[in-house]
Chains A and B, each alone.
Chain A
Amino acid sequence: MKKKRDLILSVILLIVLFGLSWLLNSEMDSYVRRIANLCMIYAIIGLSMNVTNGFAGQFSLGQAGFMAIGAYVVGIFTVPVAARATVFYAVPMNPAIAGIQLPVWAALLGGGLLAALVAFLIGAPILRLKGDYLAIATLGFSEIIRIVITNASSITNGALGIKDIPTLNDARYIFLATAIAFVFIAALINSSYGRAFKAIREDEIAAEAMGINLYKHKCLAFMISAFFAGVGGGLYAMLLGTVDPKNFLFTLTYNFLLIIVLGGMGSITGSMFGAIIVTAGLEYLRIFDEPLELFGMNIPLFRPGLRMVIFSVLLMVCVLFWRHGIMGTKELTWDRIAQFCKNPLAVFKRKGAAK
């Protein structure tokens, strides 16, 4: 009964959100659209990172590398063939791929699959590492991917990057991709695979004693994570219209780490909230970057860069008071919402009691 209710409510929510994205597309200016789209893309990538880091408990920092793979596959294969000569003006494009142009959906999917394949090749040796060591190894591989891209000029146009990618600043399509990613991962996490991931996160030895194949599941989590990071990267490339190796420095990974730490490691809905807060919040704080005049006096603090100071302070406050992020490992479920509607104050009471 409850399951049926949740399913119906979720479908209604998705339809309403899709309608909103339609409205966003037709009513809002391109700046707002861009921020909303960026939120959704970051949510996909944040969620993908949450699969390895939050659910399977493997501390991986390779997301920027997988994004780069997805972004470049989209970049290389969707630029119109006629425009390629002007894009690849320094080193001509490798003739083997110069004539291939893929439809957008195929390029996105291909980017995700290639990222997953690379994840498998990388994961096979390094997923035997744990904790900090795994983080260092994945970080290193993500940099290797970027450097390979920088140097493979005839395929990726090297440091010049690829421009003239057909842009997609259309909330409807990006919303669809986001919805598919969230539904798929939610289904995965609630299946026996998801439970196995969580068991590995909690206690590897006990998980193994239950007959869970550690290595297989770690690889699987790593590949699924890379797949969605690749798709997210592809969408990102299409939102910007250009790709450049410098976009995918390892600092980009920390953006997503921030999103999932803030949203809650091991929470699907938390990844969404984290992405919205980090992306939209940073934009909102731009008011602090503009000069401010109060009573005819120019306040000296208000200058470019102040928003980052304020954002950092807000982050510190967040991490101090919500150690496990906004959601922790919990989810915002319909049950919770129903409870909240019945008795809004109970939420705060229980929180107080838990501490």
Chain B
Amino acid sequence: MLKISDLVVSYGGIEALKGISVDVPDGQIVTLIGANGAGKSTLLRSIIGLVKIQSGSISYNDQTINGLNSQKIVQTGITLVPEGRRVFPNLTVLENLQIGAYMRNDSEGIQQDIEKIYKLFPRLEERHWQMAGTLSGGEQQMLAVGRALMCKPKLLMMDEPSLGLAPLIIKDIFSIIQKINKQGVTILLIEQNANMALKIADKAYVLETGRISMEGTGAELLENPEIKAAYLGKKKHK
């Protein structure tokens, strides 16, 4: 579905991504794990067109999308849940959802989708009149996901949905990610919480300072001793 090959992105001379290739098959959950500064967020931002790429190509359903502006990319069905949630704090929950549907014109479909999202996140319905900035971190993350779903994405990209959330809520969020995936949305998930991410992933990549250092199925990487040592903290210190 999404194919990235030899992608190079640099910020003023410093290469953040040094030629990486990632393949996201239709209907799967693909996860990318890596430490701070590995280039995870840069990858997502370049896919959605917020960052200009230097070389390489990004193609979506056999159609090259690098170089298009974000508006066109969102129209093709790719949506980003940005890092740190970035809900619109002084707008109500409902308005946030409506902005998510900005690219759509079918007011009836939008209304149905809002109902659907309320079913997925009953909390949001309770608080639909509240300013998004007054929600708790977990609720804001739910809103960010709900807002992204309002564009009816085929590929949903999430940038660290577990950032700054309590372990119990992280569990909720991950089970919702699986639920969304079962409804037919392909998911590209970027995480520092490697344990959770690998458990639900069909396919996983490890990103280290701008390069892919390992790839495999989620289960394979979970068992990999190097990964265990570096990301899962299971090796005992001597």
Q: Which of B75-83, B180-188, B227-235 contacts A (4 or more CB under 8 A)?
A: B75-83
Asked if A195 meets B71 with Cβ closer than 8 Å, knowing A209-B48, A210-B100, A211-B103, the reply is no
B87 beta carbon closer than 8 Å to chain A: yes
Partner of B95, one of A195, A208, A210, A211: A195
Interface string of B135-170 (1 = CB under 8 A from A): 000000000000100010000000000000000000
The answer for the CA separation of A210 and B152 in the assembled complex, in Å, is 11
| A205 contacts across to B, CB distance below 8 A | 50, 82, 86
Determine the chain A residues whose CB is within 8 A of the CB of B69 once the complex forms: 213
Report yes or no: A192 in contact with B82, Cβ–Cβ below 8 A.
no
Q: Are A209 and B99 in contact (CB under 8 A)?
A: no
The listed residue with most B CB atoms (<10 A of its CB), out of A196, A199, A206, A212, is A206
> What size tier do the contact residues of chain B reach?
20 to 34
Indicate whether A196 sits within 8 Å of B70 (C-beta atoms), given known contacts A205-B50, A205-B86: no
CB-CB contacts below 8 Å: B65-119 with A: 69-71, 73-75, 79-80, 82, 86-91, 95, 98-100, 102-103
Residues of A within 8 A of B89 (CB): 202-203
Q: Using Cβ atoms and an 8 Å threshold, which residues of chain A touch B102? A: 192, 195-196, 199, 210-212
Q: Once bound together, how far apart are the Cα atoms of A86 and B70, in whole Å? A: 58
Contacts of A211 in B (CB 8 A): 70-71, 73-75, 102-103, 151
Q: Does A198 contact B (CB under 8 A)?
A: yes
Chain B residues within an 8 Å CB radius of A202: 88-91
For chain A, the bracket of interface size reads 10 to 19
Is A104's CB within 8 Å of the partner chain B? no
Contacts of A210 in B (CB 8 A): 74, 79, 99-100, 102-103, 147, 151
From A203, A205, A207, A210, residue with most partner B Cβ within 10 Å = A210
State whether B91 touches A199 (Cβ < 8 A): yes
Contact B90 A208 (CB under 8 A): no
B-contacting residues, A166-202, CB 8 Å = 192, 195-196, 198-199, 201-202
> Cβ of B82 and Cβ of A206 under 8 Å apart?
yes
Q: Tell me which residues from 192 to 234 in chain A have a Cβ below 8 Å from any Cβ of chain B.
A: 192, 195-196, 198-199, 201-203, 205-213
- How far apart are the CA atoms of A199 and B150 in the complex, in Å? 15
29 A–B pairs (Cβ distance < 8 Å), ordered by A: A192-B98, A195-B98, A195-B99, A195-B102, A196-B99, A196-B102, A198-B88, A199-B88, A199-B91, A199-B102, A202-B89, A202-B90, A202-B91, A203-B87, A203-B89, A206-B82, A208-B50, A208-B70, A209-B50, A209-B79, A210-B74, A210-B100, A210-B151, A211-B70, A211-B73, A211-B74, A211-B75, A211-B103, A329-B90
CB within 8 Å of B: which residues of A?
192, 195-196, 198-199, 201-203, 205-213, 329
Q: Which residues of B contact A (CB under 8 A)?
A: 48, 50, 69-71, 73-75, 79-80, 82, 86-91, 95, 98-100, 102-103, 147, 151
